[in-house]
Amino acid sequence: MSEEFRRIYDYFMRKKGRALGLLIGFILGWGVMKYGFLKVLFLAICAGVGYLFGRMVDDRRTFDDMIDRIFSYRGRTRR
């Protein structure tokens, strides 16, 4: 096994959730997409969502934690 391949393999083994999420998003997006800008944009969004879910798995966070983080006030005051 070459040294470069070994480094790539080690990286993906450390980031399994992100790599798997990206792959799943890519495959689902590719299945829906044929050709065209909007379909390619859809593919990019699917891959991005897959990456975020993979990152959530890597960080051992739950879906509720992610929703709370997205919709948190972060010091803003309510009116």
54-70 pLDDT per residue, tens? 888 888 877 787 778 77
The answer to whether residue 7 is domain-embedded is no
pLDDT tens, position by position, 33-53? 666 667 777 778 888 888 888
58 is a domain residue: yes
pLDDT (0 to 100) of residue 35: 64
The answer as to whether 9 is a domain residue is no
- What are 27's two structure tokens? 């495959």
Residue 1, in any domain of the structure: no
17 CB contacts (<8 Å, ≥6 apart)?
53, 54, 55, 56, 57, 58
Q: Considering only CA atoms, give the Rg of the chain.
A: 17
Record the tokens describing residue 16, joined without a space: 């399994």
Q: For residues 73 and 79, what is the distance between their CA atoms, to the nearest angstrom?
A: 12
Rounded distance between C-alpha atoms, residue 9 and residue 71, angstroms: 36
Say if 40 falls within a structural domain.
yes
Q: What is the pLDDT of residue 52?
A: 81
pTM attached to this predicted model: 0.47
Residue 78, in any domain of the structure: no
* Residue 5 belongs to some domain of the structure: no
Q: Could you give the number of structural domains in the chain?
A: 1
